Structure 1
């Protein structure tokens, strides 16, 4: 038997998620991507390794990491493919480990 959430309950949940996102110092997608990249790639080979693992050139990764370029859709998609465990957090800022991600079935 499925439970239907009331609009009030959904509003409370939405507000709690919004508050959690805004409390994080990494409060936008680009900042969260940079955190993941900095954690997993040593500075000396960072851009070369990212270029090797993706279809994005090392210069573009460098420009993004240095704040001179916003992440492209390709960068976001490929970063999430390399680090699927961080996809929800990168894209939304939500870090609830109990949420299960799934695709839509046809």
Structure 2
């Protein structure tokens, strides 16, 4: 118990918000099997399993590359991973602490599909040396391998992908009907009355 500087009452001490390291570990713990953790992480991210093992056992801090790879793999957690803030209205959530709560047959939220599509689209264009802005402007010339790659990695249909590409909107043009009360902080309030 500590004394509240506001009311002078004794209140229960609140836990500190999770660090980025703790948030990354929670995502890994929920989404990756313990048995093959480092092999799976290496396969998913392209970062050595030994680096992940050293991170897991607190022998190194997470690198920007590690954080980016986790956020790109599970974009529904990207905002929470980097800031500790939840924004469920646009599909930005935190993983449940219940291990493997996700049902793979469950439909992926639209925002997660869209983020995965955008990530895969940019990765493919970069790998192939294609100007992604040009592809968006010329949707009639979208290479079939790109469409197939996007279908595989985003769990979207060909029609959904083409519709996305035909929107011809830049990131700044997308409008969201969101309000401040939609944001939820991962940090608990500092004091609560006992």
Tell me if both proteins adopt one fold, taking TM over 0.5 as the criterion. yes
Deviation at 1:89, TM superposition (A): 0.5
2:90 paired with 1:84: no
How many residues align structurally?
84
Q: Is the 8 A contact 1:26 1:32 kept in 2?
A: no
The alpha-carbon deviation at position 34 of structure 1 amounts to 0.2
Q: Secondary structure at the match of 2:62?
A: coil
1:6 is aligned to none
Report the CA distance shift for 1:100/1:39 in structure 2 as closer, same or farther (over 3 A): closer
Structure 2 residue matching 1:98: 3-state secondary structure: helix
Partner of 2:106: none
Q: Is the 8 A contact 1:27 1:93 kept in 2?
A: yes
Structure 2 spans left out of the alignment, 5+ residues = 1-13, 93-114, 116-169, 174-194
Higher helix share: 1
Unaligned runs of 5+ in 1: 1-22
Q: 1:43 aligns with which of 31, 34, 48?
A: 34
TM-score (norm 2): 0.39
> Structure 1 length normalisation: TM-score?
0.69
- Give 1:35 shift: 0.2
Kept in 1, the 8 Å contact 2:76–2:91? The answer is no
Q: CA RMSD in A?
A: 2.4
* Equivalent residue in structure 2 for 1:65, among 53, 56, 69: 56
- Structure of larger gyration radius: 2
Measured in 2, the distance between the counterparts of 1:49 and 1:65 equals 14
CA distance in 2, matches of 1:61, 1:75: 8
The reply to whether residue 95 of structure 1 matches residue 86 of structure 2 is yes
| Gap change, CA 1:34 and 1:100, over 3 Å in 2 | closer
Change (3 A) 1:104 1:50: same
Q: What is the rounded CA distance, in whole Å, between the counterparts of 1:75 and 1:56 in structure 2? A: 7
Matches of 1:98 and 1:92, distance apart in 2:
16
Per residue, is there more strand in 1 or in 2? 2
